[in-house]
Amino acid sequence: MSKLITAKIGGRWREVPLWATRLSFEVRPVPGFQNEAWPLWKPTLLLLDQVLDDRKWKLNWVRIHSHLGVSRSPRHSMAWVDKDTDTMMLCHFDKDTMLHEIAHLPKDDAHSDAWAKRLWELQETYLNKKDARAAHLELTRYLSGRRLYIKKFGEKPPRYVDQISIWVSTKPTSK
């Protein structure tokens, strides 16, 4: 794991890896954030920084969670983005959740057809083929995603099966 430094973030002193202080946005781990979760978050936060740079989009800060060792899905929102304040909250460290939220940033159009098209394009650009296919299926939980899937493939998508939180299957690396 990267060496942690103590930095004042969002008015509170936090332990964060140095790489997290060099992003174009401030990373705000929630109080009680488990430091062993930083390696899980690094690929997603670095990709988020790349997407923001490539697209010339802006975020002021991103709040992140850790739920290592849980036996059930967290009982709160998995993610959101606030276009008015250019802020984001991510509970899940997977890239698809981050791309889902970042697709809302250019225009506040909820889960519209235009949003689904933006998300599909982000998935195609920033995920490997296997992960993009899985992300496209995840997108079909929304009507706009189902319409786009039918347009792309000429058939209905497989029935959507709700996923359990990735925190349930992710175990801490240290005790």
Confidence band for 175, pLDDT divided at 50, 70 and 90: very low
pLDDT in tens, 77-113: 789 999 899 999 999 899 999 999 999 999 878 999 9
13 has pLDDT over 50 = yes
Q: What is the average pLDDT value for the chain, to the nearest integer?
A: 91
% of the chain exceeding 90 in pLDDT: 74
> In the predicted model, what is the mean pLDDT of residues 42-58?
97
Q: How much is the pLDDT for 172?
A: 63
Q: How far is CA 143 from the centre of its chain?
A: 21
> Which among 136, 140, 40, 46 is positioned nearest to 96, based on CA atoms?
136
171 has pLDDT over 70 = no
123 has pLDDT over 60 = yes
Q: How much is the pLDDT for 70?
A: 75
Q: How much is the pLDDT for 1?
A: 60
CA distance 48 to 63: 13
User: For the whole model, what pTM was predicted?
Assistant: 0.90
Phi and psi of 139, rounded to 5°? -65, -25
34 has pLDDT over 70 = yes
CA distance 20 to 31: 16
